[in-house]
Structure 1
Amino acid sequence: MAANAHLQEQIRHLPHRPGIYKYFDDEGIIYVGKAIDIRKRVSSYFTKQDHNKKTQQLVKNIKRIEFTIVDNESEAFLLENNLIKQHQPKYNILLKDGKTYPYLCLTNERFPRLLPTRNKIENGSKYYGPYANLTAMNIVLELIRALYPLRTCTYNLSSDNIEAGKFKVCLEYHLGNCKGPCEGLQDEETYAQYIQQIRNILSGNLSVPKAYFRERMMQAAQEQQFELAHTLKQKLDRLDDFQAKSTVVNASLSNIDVFSIASNEKSAFINYLKVMNGAIIQTQSLEVQKKLDEVDADILSPLIMQMREEFESESKEILTNVSLSPLPLPGVVLTVPQIGDKRKLLELSIKNVLYLRKEKESMNDRSKDVNEVRIMEGIKRDLRLTELPKHIECFDNSNFQGDNPVAAMVCFRNAKPSKKDYRHFHIKTVVGPNDFDSMYEIVTRRYRRLLDEGASLPQLVVVDGGKGQLGMAVKALRDLDLWGKIPVVGIAKRLEEIYVPNDPLPLYIDKKSETLRLIQRMRDEAHRFGITFHRNRRDASTLKTELTDIKGLGPTTAEKLLSKFKSVKKIRELSEAELITEVGKAKARILLNHFEQQEQQATQTGPATTA
């Protein structure tokens, strides 16, 4: 798509340097991009011919171009990412699902509490997460509450308040879920040990709490405190069970981000896994709509930056299923593993993203099927049919002042056009512009042929016209002994009214209903299909009278000349040399002789002059 003169001038002054470029329309920024060579990248939007429709629309809307030079591609990536988040251009992919993710918060107070929350407050509390869904967070929260007796009250447990005896233990103490620090029944040092082990669990490190419970269990057994040892054994089993369910590969794999992407024409699907000590502690899958003709690598790179920021990841290794250019993440290694435990991790992520894509595509297919059934059920209800109209045919006549009369039939199956079943008709038995008789002829011919072939009949016939055309369609069905077997209706053009046989009044259907919209769509499609056929036939007729009457000049040569020069007038203006180039010396001489004879006849039969 060529740029206008104003944009061409701007492009000529763009530098051959790395940086970012911004496209503006009349209202503001519509796209931000990065490039190693700004001028080459921007020029490609206006010189490439294979852009998709969305990119063509973007280019069409560009009114102004701005750029910013940076030192390298990494800086261009960061600047592009920041500008996209700041301006949210409509042609850029942006991660903006509107969600606030849940966290687990260890409060900054004496005898800290562990709370689920969606709001982070800068008060010294420590937040773990965010978790992509509540289920994952609740599993961890339930595990910790089963292992450690933490308080849930909101009392200010200062040493002065406890010593003054301001508080009394609550039901949680009597249930064994809290050790009563509010009355000084639990010392701060033991509680701090719990908190430290909880921090390890929330960070994905289960070895420290497991060692703690194992050591205490062995000590209790030696001291013959067998009930306590059994309780500690149960807690150790809980940790082992949680780790077994969480560990996916080698437990030595620590602090790794895994990203995979799969896409189709319209959307890209991304899966993210956060791995600590071989266990997945966070996971997220999402779908983003493609804005232009982006490849997977161009989509995934900025989303990795955004999702790492969203999930507060500090991982020094990223695994992906597509090769990416270096990201502006100092000390972070990007790899596409091919073997080993890291490959197993990546394959797990790929399995998740492919499942998401399949599920979304299946949902779209089911949604289409549901829509089609809903439309057909609406037609059945509105037209009082006895069966679902899965097969509908619509007829329309087309003629111009009685010349070249033709007709068309379009077929819809499951509320969608079935173009392989469309048919044209040359009107054979009717002379002149008689829509009624033409309708009788084409309906008769259509269904006599279906009967002869033993083909299935439609569940509904629609004719373009009012009571007259409808009556002739009914007559045709009666004569074929199909009356009562195929329902038929007519749609009148003037008021878009639906007529049914044997009823002088039109059938009332809501003007906004899907039934009327589909019937109108079929009528318009039949009209378009018939008009196209009529024009082609009329053009063929015109071609026959203008050129093919010339003896020695066949229809192929005539069509070739008219296709290139569009009219006989322009052919007449060609020189002898030009005609020889087009059709050869013999046919050129035939044409020149014909045109000369026409000129002589026109001179001899011209208007008389008066003295």
Structure 2
Amino acid sequence: MQNPSLELQIQTLPDSPGVYQYYDKDEKLLYVGKAKNLKKRVLSYFNKVHEIGRTRVMVRKIVTIKHIVVTSESDALLLENNLIKKLQPRYNVMLRDDKSYPWICIKKEPFSRIFSTRRMVKDGSEYFGPYTSFRTVHTILDLIKELYPLRTCNYDLTENNIKSGKFKVCLEYHIGNCKGPCEGHEPLETYQEQVNAIREILKGNFKESLRNFKKQMGDFAAEMEFEQAQRIKEKIEVLENYQSRSMVANPKITNVDVFSIVSDESAAYINFLQISHGSVIRSFTLELKKKLEETDEELLELGIIEMRERFNLTSREVIVPFEVDLGENIKITVPQLGDKKQILDLSIRNAKFYRIDQLKQMQIVDPDRHTNRIMAQMKKDLRLPEEPRHIECFDNSNIQGTNPVAACVVFKDGKPSKKDYRHFNIKTVEGPNDFASMEEVVYRRYKRLLDENEPLPQLIIIDGGKGQLSSALKSIDTLELRGKIAIIGIAKRLEELFYPGDNIPLYLDKKSETLKVIQQLRNEAHRFGITFHRDKRSKNALQTSMETIPGIGEKTMQTLIKHFKSVKRLKEASEKDISAVIGLSKAKKITDFYNDNKPKE
């Protein structure tokens, strides 16, 4: 650190929790962060080499450091979240809070109305939500409408207004969707009992409504009112069906929030599930665009604080995949088994599906962005010095030592570049020696690229384990390319990745995009090599037959092989079958030749 002013600012920082702010020479805010220990956290930006270019650029721009001391790290997290949303620093993750989410309102009034709204009015009414889509809201309101006949009008149903006969029942009353409280056909106490039951349903508690409906059904049946009993039974079935679809865990798990995170090089996806009485009553996935080297722990903490504030969450227990610090008043649960682990897995699955959907959309709208992300991910996963925009993969093909060949396939920007594929006939190796064959083809490939001044790849992949990799390295060393091209070997059995000079293999996640690209390369090299090997064997067999059958030319034999698929089938064919392809005269020459050369018994 060359700037004396910065050194002084850092030295005077306290060893306390708080929020720090970085400014450039024009007093523009660059970044806001939180820390358990302000001095240690800020110092860490200046005493290490950052892998991400954006971080290095930001650190070079820092001229002024400001800070706010708070009493705990959880307070720092809340303050950081508010400052990011208010000030929108250039290098912070993007937190979008411009969307107005729908709520379900139980209006504070006689004969309460229940409806959806985007506006919260502080008049004593109750609001449930917010919900992440109107589709969810409409589903819940449709359920309520099926179960309980409530009014939809906006009349002021005071006791005096009803008694004065000011209002008249509408169509909703005549079709059975309302019991007519406007004309006094339904007492306030009975109506509010229904509102109380709906309140419990909105909280995720179905038990009370089911018990009341079952009691009503029993009472109607006992009084021989079977039509009424059937109507109540249908309501029970509707409620139980809705409950079964929303129930994901033990009903004893209530008032719990679940958060999980899935991330890649460019973004993190944080899923939130709100659980009440074993049911999911709300789900949302927040996308955070990465700007610097944020860890999953930092992003998850930030996402949790953001969503608790956005959705007015008050639960005292949070289920997460790893430990986070949200303050002393919130219980953090990291489940390993049981019902809570199942809920966490469900949240992770939702985050993964959301990520996949976003990536598909990005691939359609901006294909280059998708490619750039994969290249950045491969660089990180494979510990490469640069993105592997140009990758070449080698594979040997020989069966019992015959016709040994090799194949080199080329991927550019993660996609096959078939015009650059190359076949190799093994020239200097006798017999089935895969190691020596690999050494030969790697040498020939890169000797030619160097001689022709063609660009070299950033990554070479050898289909094979440590032995094949060592053989390829001999040629790389001979050509003095060690350190200029990254090279790894992939062993087929366990998908192990081997690096030069390292006996311990690297294992990638079986579902990672990096491993999928490597597997695609390996499979393509194997397919390309096998196809060439088969063609070569067929050609050798054809040439052997052509040399030994008098009067039969190359074109005739090619026609026959194309028809009969192999020399063996040609030998077994009758003269009649052959004559149908090339005529009787030539057919007789071929059958006579094969009959004369049959092995004697």
**Residue pairs, 1:321-400, within 5 angstroms:** 321-324=321-324, 326-328=325-327, 330-368=328-366
The one-letter amino acid of 1:49's match is V
Task: Give the alignment's TM-score, normalised by structure 2.
Answer: 0.61
Contact 2:31-2:90 at 8 Å conserved across structures: yes
5+ residue gaps, structure 2: 371-409, 426-448, 455-601
- 1:17-66 CA-partner distances (Å, limit 9, x unpaired): 33221111224322121222222211111121134112112212212011
Q: Mark the CA change 1:18 to 1:286 in structure 2 (over 3 Å): closer, same or farther.
A: closer
The one-letter amino acid of 2:93's match is I
- 1:72-121 CA-partner distances (Å, limit 9, x unpaired): 33333333233333323222224315211111111111111111111111
Kindly indicate whether residue 202 of structure 2 is the aligned counterpart of residue 202 of structure 1: yes
Tell me the secondary structure at the aligned position of residue 152 of structure 2: coil
Q: Mark the CA change 1:352 to 1:18 in structure 2 (over 3 Å): closer, same or farther.
A: same
Tell me by how many angstroms 1:134 deviates: 1.4
Kindly indicate whether residue 269 of structure 2 is the aligned counterpart of residue 269 of structure 1: yes
Tell me by how many angstroms 1:418 deviates: 9.4
- Which residue in the other structure is 1:17 paired with? 16
**Larger deviation: 68-77 or 98-107?**
68-77
Count of aligned pairs: 391
Alignment RMSD = 3.1
Tell me by how many angstroms 1:5 deviates: 2.7
Tell me by how many angstroms 1:137 deviates: 1.3
- Which residue in the other structure is 2:590 paired with? none
- Which residue in the other structure is 1:126 paired with? 126
Partner Cα distance (1:80, 1:117) in 2: 30
Contact 1:273-1:283 at 8 Å conserved across structures: yes
- Which residue in the other structure is 2:188 paired with? 188
Tell me the secondary structure at the aligned position of residue 209 of structure 1: helix
Q: Mark the CA change 1:277 to 1:39 in structure 2 (over 3 Å): closer, same or farther.
A: same
Tell me by how many angstroms 1:421 deviates: 7.9
Contact 2:15-2:37 at 8 Å conserved across structures: yes
The one-letter amino acid of 1:342's match is K
Contact 2:23-2:65 at 8 Å conserved across structures: yes
- Which residue in the other structure is 1:56 paired with? 56
Q: Mark the CA change 1:71 to 1:249 in structure 2 (over 3 Å): closer, same or farther.
A: closer
Tell me the secondary structure at the aligned position of residue 363 of structure 1: helix
Partner Cα distance (1:364, 1:29) in 2: 30
- Which residue in the other structure is 2:514 paired with? none
Kindly indicate whether residue 49 of structure 2 is the aligned counterpart of residue 44 of structure 1: no
Partner Cα distance (1:294, 1:176) in 2: 57
Percent identical: 42
5+ residue gaps, structure 1: 373-411, 423-449, 454-528, 535-611
Contact 2:130-2:311 at 8 Å conserved across structures: yes
Contact 1:105-1:128 at 8 Å conserved across structures: yes
Partner Cα distance (2:318, 2:274) in 1: 10
Tell me the secondary structure at the aligned position of residue 84 of structure 2: helix
Kindly indicate whether residue 319 of structure 2 is the aligned counterpart of residue 319 of structure 1: yes
Partner Cα distance (1:360, 1:216) in 2: 48
- Which residue in the other structure is 1:507 paired with? none
Partner Cα distance (1:44, 1:10) in 2: 14
**Larger deviation: 5-14 or 170-179?**
5-14
The one-letter amino acid of 1:350's match is I
Contact 1:296-1:322 at 8 Å conserved across structures: no
The one-letter amino acid of 2:68's match is T
Q: Highest CA radius of gyration, 1 or 2?
A: 1
The one-letter amino acid of 1:42's match is V
- 1:540-585 CA-partner distances (Å, limit 9, x unpaired): xxxxxxxxxxxxxxxxxxxxxxxxxxxxxxxxxxxxxxxxxxxxxx
Q: Mark the CA change 1:338 to 1:3 in structure 2 (over 3 Å): closer, same or farther.
A: farther
Partner Cα distance (2:335, 2:119) in 1: 37
Kindly indicate whether residue 67 of structure 2 is the aligned counterpart of residue 96 of structure 1: no
- Which residue in the other structure is 2:245 paired with? 245
Contact 2:84-2:95 at 8 Å conserved across structures: no
Tell me by how many angstroms 1:13 deviates: 2.2
- Which residue in the other structure is 2:279 paired with? 279
**Residue pairs, 1:332-481, within 5 angstroms:** 332-368=330-366
Q: Mark the CA change 1:166 to 1:16 in structure 2 (over 3 Å): closer, same or farther.
A: closer
Contact 2:257-2:275 at 8 Å conserved across structures: yes
Q: Mark the CA change 1:41 to 1:413 in structure 2 (over 3 Å): closer, same or farther.
A: closer
Tell me the secondary structure at the aligned position of residue 334 of structure 1: strand
Q: Mark the CA change 1:331 to 1:75 in structure 2 (over 3 Å): closer, same or farther.
A: closer
Tell me by how many angstroms 1:154 deviates: 1.1
Q: Mark the CA change 1:97 to 1:419 in structure 2 (over 3 Å): closer, same or farther.
A: farther
- Which residue in the other structure is 2:477 paired with? none
Contact 2:85-2:96 at 8 Å conserved across structures: no
- Which residue in the other structure is 2:224 paired with? 224
Contact 1:34-1:80 at 8 Å conserved across structures: yes
**Larger deviation: 295-304 or 43-52?**
43-52
Q: Mark the CA change 1:87 to 1:145 in structure 2 (over 3 Å): closer, same or farther.
A: same
- Which residue in the other structure is 1:173 paired with? 173
Q: Mark the CA change 1:421 to 1:4 in structure 2 (over 3 Å): closer, same or farther.
A: farther
- 1:523-555 CA-partner distances (Å, limit 9, x unpaired): xxxxxx99x979xxxxxxxxxxxxxxxxxxxxx
Partner Cα distance (1:417, 1:201) in 2: 52
- Which residue in the other structure is 1:213 paired with? 213
Contact 1:3-1:46 at 8 Å conserved across structures: no
The one-letter amino acid of 2:62's match is I
Q: Mark the CA change 1:419 to 1:243 in structure 2 (over 3 Å): closer, same or farther.
A: closer
Contact 2:94-2:290 at 8 Å conserved across structures: no
- 1:219-261 CA-partner distances (Å, limit 9, x unpaired): 1111111111111111111111111111111111111101010
